[in-house]
């Protein structure tokens, strides 16, 4: 076994005494320290393997910066989230989802004419190739809409051949805009299919969020009027989910893209990763958990289970890998949640009452306080979606609609980085040492 101890920290070099248990013995190693504009410095370990014959080991990437990025900054201890330098609270209150999309993808807040051009482009790419509709018929009616999304988003690469050349900047832009524009259409169709209702085409006179509600809830039989409070709440939720630095699904998109895979395939990979209950699937899991709890009298029983090390149960919507004091997105949504519930007159919904009680109890419980487990963004977004009449199975799909913007921005940044290489982690092998094959009859 070897040891690695930092023995000196100069201005931009960390001297490590790396003593691997290898024939060469002790090998002092100087590692450059890289400094970003904010946040912790990073030890540049790129030459560790070449100079020590050792890999570094960091499952779950708790200490590893996987890339350099200018898009999003998070300070988990202080509850800070900035997109291109702008605080999430200001963006959520003062901006719109498409303006935030433009900011994340292009790098700066758009001027009025840039904004108009961006909105125009997204609006005019929202329709799908008509043949794509046929894909939906191939799914069972009870298919999870995330399963449909993984399939149909990946299938976009079979339709838009003129935007698959990732070495062509123009094609990259067209593919990016197509993805942002078509996601609400694909998502709403997944919902309509599950309901056995006819698909609804997008409308160019509606905003992004209005259009999403229109495509989900309108029917050919009667006029559907989009409630402006709901459209604004949805827009806010989309803003709050737009990007979150190098989370699991974004890292998946980057890893997929690092091989040169086309953007539609990369975003499909991101959707697959987002689906998991520890990530985007948590908003759906929150509602399922509330239904399982059923009544506030049963909360103590579930809190007890969440604390039991031998029970895999966790309180869904609580805790975060990065935010250890509070999730700033959850703070914004907490207020939106109250607003939406009062506008919709849902304050008396027993499930929502249960959610509020659970939040209160968990916030006062020493286990949750000690482990710094606070309600995260998914706790409140699930409750708002439920109040808006959006079915539970669609929650993560809406998260995917929003996060497509972040995935695209991060993929684009990686594509434009001349130092980009295929992502290829190594491993600590703990399997068998070489052994000889034994014939089946002799095993």
Active site residue ranges: 320, 378
The only residue of 27, 232, 296, 321 in contact with ligand CMC, by rule CB under 6 A: 321
Q: Is 320 in the site for ligand CMC (CB under 6 A)?
A: yes
Between helix 145-155 and helix 263-274 the angle, nearest 10°, is 170
Query: 280 vs 328, which CB is nearer to ligand CMC?
Result: 280
User: Is residue 332 within 8 Å of residue 240, measured between CB atoms?
Assistant: yes
Q: Is 380 in the site for ligand CMC (CB under 6 A)?
A: no
- In the three-class reduction of DSSP (H, G, I as helix; E, B as strand; rest coil), residue 17 is classed as strand
Minimum CB separation of residue 323 from ligand CMC in Å reads 8
> Where is 43: in which H helix or E strand?
strand 42-43
Query: 182 vs 329, which CB is nearer to ligand CMC?
Result: 329
The only residue of 259, 371, 389, 416 in contact with ligand CMC, by rule CB under 6 A: 371
Query: 158 vs 278, which CB is nearer to ligand CMC?
Result: 278
Q: Is 271 in the site for ligand CMC (CB under 6 A)?
A: no
Residue nearest to ligand CMC (CB): 319
User: Is residue 155 within 8 Å of residue 138, measured between CB atoms?
Assistant: no
Q: Under rule CB under 6 A, which residues in 290-319 are in contact with ligand CMC? A: 306, 314-319
Minimum CB separation of residue 407 from ligand CMC in Å reads 13
Distance (Å, whole) CA 104 – CA 421: 23
Distance (Å, whole) CA 68 – CA 413: 9
Distance (Å, whole) CA 301 – CA 322: 28
Minimum CB separation of residue 215 from ligand CMC in Å reads 25
- Range in contact with ligand CMC (rule: CB under 6 A) among 146-154, 172-180, 201-209, 374-382: 374-382
Query: 368 vs 411, which CB is nearer to ligand CMC?
Result: 368
Distance (Å, whole) CA 344 – CA 388: 8
Q: Under rule CB under 6 A, which residues in 272-291 are in contact with ligand CMC? A: 278-280, 282
Q: Is 373 in the site for ligand CMC (CB under 6 A)?
A: yes
Minimum CB separation of residue 3 from ligand CMC in Å reads 25
Q: Under rule CB under 6 A, which residues in 135-174 are in contact with ligand CMC? A: none
102 closest CA partner among 85, 87, 122, 88: 122
Q: Is 378 in the site for ligand CMC (CB under 6 A)?
A: yes
Query: 195 vs 369, which CB is nearer to ligand CMC?
Result: 369
Query: Please, where are the H alpha helices in 311-432?
Result: 328-344, 350-364, 366-370, 377-387, 395-415
Q: Sheet holding 80-83: strands in order across?
A: 72-75, 80-83, 86-87
Distance (Å, whole) CA 152 – CA 270: 13
Q: Is 375 in the site for ligand CMC (CB under 6 A)?
A: no
Distance (Å, whole) CA 384 – CA 127: 28
SS3 per-residue string spanning 97-128: HHHHHHHHHHCCCCCHHHHHHHHHHHHCCCCC
Tell me how long the chain is.
443
Minimum CB separation of residue 378 from ligand CMC in Å reads 5
The pattern of x and - marking residues 236 through 255 that bind ligand CMC according to CB under 6 A reads: -----------x--------
Residues that bind ligand CMC (CB under 6 A): 247, 278-280, 282, 306, 314-321, 371, 373, 376-378
């Amino acid at each position: 076994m070897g040891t690695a101890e930092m023995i000196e920290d100069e201005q931009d070099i960390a001297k490590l005494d790396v003593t691997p248990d290898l024939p060469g013995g002790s090998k002092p190693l100087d590692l450059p320290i890289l400094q970003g504009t904010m946040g912790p410095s990073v030890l540049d370990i790129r030459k560790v393997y070449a100079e020590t014959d050792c890999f570094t080991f960091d499952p779950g990437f708790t200490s590893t910066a996987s890339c350099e990025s200018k898009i999003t900054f998070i300070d988990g201890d202080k509850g800070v989230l900035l997109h291109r330098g702008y605080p999430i609270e200001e963006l959520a209150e003062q901006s719109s989802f498409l303006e935030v999309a433009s900011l994340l993808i292009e790098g700066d807040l758009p001027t009025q004419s840039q904004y108009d051009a961006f909105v125009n482009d997204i609006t005019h790419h929202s329709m799908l190739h008509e043949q794509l509709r046929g894909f939906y018929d191939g799914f069972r009616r009870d298919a999870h809409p995330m399963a449909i999304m993984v399939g149909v988003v990946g299938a976009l690469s079979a339709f838009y051949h003129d935007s698959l050349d990732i070495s062509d900047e123009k094609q990259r832009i067209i593919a990016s805009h197509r993805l942002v524009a078509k996601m609400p259409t694909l998502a709403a169709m997944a919902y309509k299919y599950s309901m056995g209702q006819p698909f609804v085409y997008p409308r160019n006179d509606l905003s992004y969020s209005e259009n999403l509600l229109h495509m989900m809830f309108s029917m050919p039989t009667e006029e559907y009027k989009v409630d402006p409070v709901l459209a604004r709440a949805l827009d806010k939720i989309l803003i709050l989910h737009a990007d979150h630095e190098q989370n699991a699904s974004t890292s998946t998109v980057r890893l997929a893209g690092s091989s040169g895979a086309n953007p539609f395939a990369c975003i499909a990979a991101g959707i697959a990763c987002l689906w998991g209950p520890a990530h985007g699937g948590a908003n759906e899991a929150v509602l399922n958990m509330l239904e399982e709890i059923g009544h506030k009298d049963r909360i103590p029983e579930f809190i007890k289970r969440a604390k039991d090390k031998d029970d895999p149960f966790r309180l869904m919507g609580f805790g975060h890998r990065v935010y250890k004091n509070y999730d700033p997105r959850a703070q914004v949504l907490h207020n939106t949640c109250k607003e939406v519930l009062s506008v919709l007159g849902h304050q008396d919904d027993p499930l929502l009452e249960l959610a509020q009680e659970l939040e209160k109890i968990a916030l006062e419980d020493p286990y949750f306080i000690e482990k710094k487990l606070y309600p995260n963004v998914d706790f409140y977004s699930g409750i708002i979606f439920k109040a808006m009449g959006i079915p539970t199975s669609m929650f993560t799909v809406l998260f995917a609609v929003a996060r497509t913007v972040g995935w695209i921005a991060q993929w684009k940044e990686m594509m434009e980085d001349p130092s980009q290489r295929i992502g290829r982690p190594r491993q600590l092998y703990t399997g068998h040492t070489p052994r000889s094959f034994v014939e089946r009859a002799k095993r």
